[in-house]
Structure 1
Amino acid sequence: MLRLFVSKVYVANRVAQILELNRSKQWRYISTEENPADMISRGISARFLSNSELWWNGPKWLSDSDNASIQGAYSPIEEYNLPEQRPLQLSLVIVANIDKIFQHYSQWNRLRKGVAWLRRFVEFLRSKSLVSKTKYLTLAELKKAEHWILVRVQAKAFPEEISAYKANKDISPRSKLKSLAPFMRNGLILVGGRLSNSDPTEEQKYPIVLPYQHKITKLIFTHVHHELLHCGPQLLLSAIRQVYWPLKGCLLARYTVHRCIPCVHAKPKFQIPLMAPLPQQRVQCSRPSSITGVDFAGPVMTRSGSRGRVNKKAWISLFICFATKAVHIEVVEDLTSQSFIAALRRFMARRGKPKECGVIMARISSEPVKN
């Protein structure tokens, strides 16, 4: 009996039933041109099918009386005549750029977790006994994944500096990192300085250098911006510098905040308040200086006398007309009532007496004037 290939239950049951009612020696090969079933499987119009002799009568050799010629032309296919086919296995080695994994993530946390799962899988292939069997990532695995990502980022952004450090040479004076006094530790470029004896942690004293406009740098800025509930540029940069030192960090902080859609929608816009109606004295016709406001400016330094020239303080009394905005200036020696009354008398001598006396003038008029 012919072997049954793995197929659906419906097809397998009917193939088994056919093989039970027939013997394999009864089966013959038939070409595509003489097979009526092939017409339906390939598709045919109903008009052509109704006029097809092959469909209604079958191939011509079925009605032929010469069965001997048929037996010779179509020999049975025995299983032992089939050539043996062995499964073929192919191994293909592809050298891929591992940095392409950065392009598949748009969030810093997801990138760290993805790299951590990938590293766990690689360790599992190397040694199954040393791999954690928990369903969750540990903090140590996430830190190793972050360290691996930052090493790859710096290797691509600062190749000349890393080569110089490995060769125990000084970096180029034109390098972007020259002013940061950088040094390498555990494969990472850190910012040096004079804070080795200070209290902050090692991460705060020696932050990790991040390149400008790299995708990983932007992901870190966006992540911290969301963690701090969409903070402003200054707070964002301050939080970033607790662990990292991004080149041109101020620009990146402002770029992150300005590109954040929730921050743009929630940012309040300044509305110019509506001004109150102008007072009656400002809009009605009146004689110049009849309605006048008073204000003081100063102090200013003045000189008195030809000899000695002692510097003294003086103030400026401003009389402003409400209707014409004309300004009359008088100089007073001090801020006493007597000095102001003298300035007011000089003003009235030239401009005339105002119609109304304000609160300040009423109080001054009630005070005794010393001769």
Structure 2
Amino acid sequence: EFQAKVLDFGLICSPWLHIKGVRYHLESCKSQFPAEAEFIEEISTNLYMDDVCIQADSVADAEHKINLLFEIFQQAHFPLRKWGTANEEVAHSILRLSPLDKTSVTVGDEEAKFLGVQWHQPTDSLGVFTRKAVSELSSGTPSKRKLLKGLAQIYDPLGILTPVTVRAKTLFQSLWKLKIDWDDPLPTEIIESYRNFVTMLRQSTDIRIERALSARFSTARFELHSFCDASLEAYGAAIYLRTVDKGFAQARLVVAKARVAPTKQKWSIHRYELMGALMAARITSNIREYLKLKVAKEYFWIDNMACVSWIHSPPEKWRPFVANRVREITKLTDPSAWRYIRSEENPADILSRGTDIANPQSRYRWLSGPMWLSDPTWKPPPNQIDIEETAEERKATPSQCLHTVRYDENDVIDDLLNPARFSSWFKLIRAQAFCNRLKAFAQSIKSRQRRSHSSSETRSLQLDTAECTQAEKDLVRRIQKRYFREEISQRCEDLPKSSGLAQFHPFIDSDGLMRCRSQSAGDWGGVAATLQKLRERFFILKARKVAYDALRHCPGCKRFNANPATEPTPALPTFRVEITPPFLFTGVDFAGPIYYKKENGRKAKSYILLFTCAVSRAIHLELTMDLSTYEVLRALSP
């Protein structure tokens, strides 16, 4: 037997096994370092393949965590060889605490990488690598293939250069609309846009955002401001974190995202704005889940009053497209947090229009949001919603027709004493009896001829036999009147043959009940027994189906007729599954008799002795003359 000591490169399961193994080791270290359980959980959360990111509040705290990292990963034989930091003192501490002979530490590198994102260590900021993309786009003849190759060189998961890349995406979409082939030269009107994009990309090399969100603020108030906007070419959202601490306010871009407008659907600008609002709600929901800061307030800003009106209105008012998206937005966010902002102040307007952020004013508004976000005295204005009607999105109101229906006494009682509300016939009778008592009491008051009751009779809630009998008659009379109205109106005389009761010769008795002169009986269980008991007093048309449905839904019958519980199949014995030599565990049995003829022509019996291996299921056969012990021993001998 051989055992692999390393993971095979290229297998689908290798990344999962690697991460699972590291996290299993980290989980086991919590019992070894109980005081550092929170930090170990931080390592597990910030682990991605063979990269891990940690943060510290001071150099001493960093040294403690570095020493603990070396100790934890060294126990599992995961040597930490490559490090990156933006602090010189921390870099020297890593080299001093490292138990390895060779440890690489990058500090002060302007083009360091972390998970593919540019990390400018001198300023501890994040950016986007654009050098390869600019080189690819600037060389050779511009074409659709070259534009796609240049876009593929830009890795920007945070959306720092979204105003630049969205222009390239719209340009690429226009090439598809013109049905230009991959290597065909671009038209003259497209060449100018292509060159403008390359120039914007070249000038955006130094655009970065701060890596640390709260490094300098310990008692600050944090707010999330989400801006969204749309044009006929693209829509998107930009999320900013505003920090207010001791008379100081700062706002910075956290993440941005944009999409080009679809080509198959021709929407109105209001719908594009709503799609941008939905994108802002989704991104903010994800940030809220993963951001390790206590956000005091969230604000959502949009420069389209129609969308604000939609979000502040019930979704049922609008057509399905608007209603579905408004419903999701209100599920992810608080509708009262959505506010109107002028387009001149909306930083998402830069994103949707692909504005050149090389301009200092546009760059500041893109990286830091509107000017008032950096004002520590700023307070949100009152949220005044001016309802802007969009008739094309309002759901058509169906015409309503009012009908007047006359209810008689029986209809009211049928609604009150609905049989579906009662679990048994006797409870329905009691309810009918109490209704009769209430009716008699009300009639006596109305006629001012209320008879005197004894105190015990007035206070008693017990029903006597006469009241229950009368209630049962009233129930049967009401049911008959409901289903056999024509027969009762004719007093059951001269019924046509089409009537289902004609063959039973019904008549009306002195109590006004319809009775029949024939009766069926049964003397077996189940449905038949139920019909027998029922027909002792009542005859119901199609009673067999009614009885069958009642028994099928009866809880007591379900419990009585339930199938017995079955035990689960036990596990196989160990001798059937463990690896053993053949016939170490053997089953023995006889088969036969098998008749054969002797030399003298007479018939005789013989038997087959079967040996079955319990593991491999191999079979060995031996022929015996009889079932004696001697024959068995003879068959066992070699």
TM-score range, shorter chain: 0.3 to 0.5
Greater radius of gyration (CA): 1
Greater share of strand: 2
TM-score normalized with structure 1 length: 0.35
TM-score normalized with structure 2 length: 0.23
Point out which structure has higher relative CO (alpha carbons under 8 A, 6+ apart). 1
